[in-house]
Amino acid sequence: MDTIPAVGLTTTEAPFIEQAKTEGKLYIQQPYELYSPENHEAWKKLYHRIIPRWQKYANEHFLRGIDSLCLNSGAVPRLDDVNRFLKPLTGFKAKAVSGYVPAFLFFDCLRNREFPTTITIRRSDKLDYLPEPDIFHDVAGHVPMHTDKAFAETLVRFGESAHTAAELVSGIGDERRRIRTLTSIIKAMARFFWFTVEFGLMRGADGLRVYGSGLLSSYGEIEHAVESPEVQRYPIQLEWAVNQAFEIDHYQPLLFIVESFDHLFDLVGRLERWMKSGKLNNVAPGEPAVNEQDLKSFLEAGPRT
Ligand SMILES: [Fe+2]
């Protein structure tokens, strides 16, 4: 059996993270000195091997973002350094977290231009195995997108719609109906997020390009998403995406294409209008599961500030 190292910030093996969770701390500092040589090695390997695939498959907004963030390719980046370049561009910043962020809190962070960011990194001998998000997914996959103004505004708008959802369900008197409605709306929002921010494709002058962070941070899947004849790729239809279940443990067999980030922004507006009209109250059952923490986070949501 593998031994758990006393130091290091390796995914699922980091004592610092376990301690933070035990103490109930969700928002944390990035204790940079705890990264082990193996952690830095993992970052370096992940970064170097994916560069040619980004050149070939990533959309231009992402590639510009990578340049403007001046990410260190040789070692795990410091979030303070990343934020120094990011914040002046769109107001966004990466905010270190100890683990899973319940849905409402996550979306509300986006509204406040904060991106909950995992600070651990996968093992250097298992680069393709990802039991949960890590800093490579979050910082190399998501954060470069936050340098783009139109994309950043879309995330903020999406965060706004979480408040709309919380307000809507707070007006439902019957508790069972309130939970059922909320479960359906969270499911619809999670599916939208998955098929766009995590796994979206965009049409460009030179063909399909990737803008979803789950693809941008996966050496194998970024190529598969664009090249494989087995993947179904369709222009996004909101009514389809919000009713479409997905599984997280294999390459995605179905991906949706947007025309631009203005298109994506408009879709978020429509998602919110559908929410208000009740159209998201009974979306198709299936993945993703909505857990107690997600529900509680919406039910306890405070007013917009
Ligand atoms: Fe992600």
Q: pLDDT digits over 1-37, tens only?
A: 444 455 799 999 999 999 999 999 999 999 999 999 9
Indicate the SS3 state at residue 94.
Answer: strand
Span from the CA of 158 to the centroid of ligand 1 (angstroms): 15
Span from the CA of 109 to the centroid of ligand 1 (angstroms): 14
- Ligand 1 (ion): residues with CB under 5 Å are 213
What is residue 4's predicted lDDT score, i.e. its pLDDT?
A: 44
Span from the CA of 94 to the centroid of ligand 1 (angstroms): 13
Element (H, E) at 58: none
What is residue 288's predicted lDDT score, i.e. its pLDDT?
A: 95
Span from the CA of 265 to the centroid of ligand 1 (angstroms): 18
Span from the CA of 190 to the centroid of ligand 1 (angstroms): 11
Lowest mean pLDDT across 21-35, 88-102, 256-270, 290-304: 290-304
DSSP single-letter state for residue 196: I
**Using CA atoms, how far apart are residues 165 and 172, in angstroms rounded to an integer?**
11
Span from the CA of 137 to the centroid of ligand 1 (angstroms): 6
**Using CA atoms, how far apart are residues 69 and 94, in angstroms rounded to an integer?**
12
Residue 72 has pLDDT above 90, yes or no: no
Span from the CA of 216 to the centroid of ligand 1 (angstroms): 10
Average pLDDT over residues 232-247: 97
Q: Are 242 and 279 in contact (CB under 8 A)?
A: no
**Using CA atoms, how far apart are residues 109 and 155, in angstroms rounded to an integer?**
10
Span from the CA of 140 to the centroid of ligand 1 (angstroms): 10
- Give which of 35, 116, 48, 131 is closest to 77, Cα–Cα: 35
What is residue 6's predicted lDDT score, i.e. its pLDDT?
A: 54
Span from the CA of 138 to the centroid of ligand 1 (angstroms): 6
Span from the CA of 286 to the centroid of ligand 1 (angstroms): 20
Span from the CA of 19 to the centroid of ligand 1 (angstroms): 24
Span from the CA of 59 to the centroid of ligand 1 (angstroms): 17
Q: pTM of the prediction?
A: 0.95
Sign of CA dihedral 273, 109, 156, 73: negative
Average pLDDT over residues 157-186: 97
Between residues 143 and 204, which one has the greater pLDDT? 143
Q: What is the pLDDT of residues 92-125, one digit of tens each?
A: 999 999 999 999 999 999 999 999 999 999 999 9
- Letter string b/e over residues 214-224, b meaning 16 or more CB atoms within 10 A of that residue's CB: bbbbbeebbee
Q: For domain 15-299, say whether CATH 1.10.800.10 is its number.
A: yes
Average pLDDT over residues 209-236: 97
Span from the CA of 239 to the centroid of ligand 1 (angstroms): 22
What is residue 1's predicted lDDT score, i.e. its pLDDT?
A: 43
3-state SS string for 108-154 = HHHHCCEEEEECCECCCCCCCCCCCCCHHHHHHHHHHHHHCHHHHHH
Span from the CA of 177 to the centroid of ligand 1 (angstroms): 30
Tokens representing 293 are 């923490």
Tokens representing 2 are 């593998």
Span from the CA of 171 to the centroid of ligand 1 (angstroms): 31
What is residue 206's predicted lDDT score, i.e. its pLDDT?
A: 87
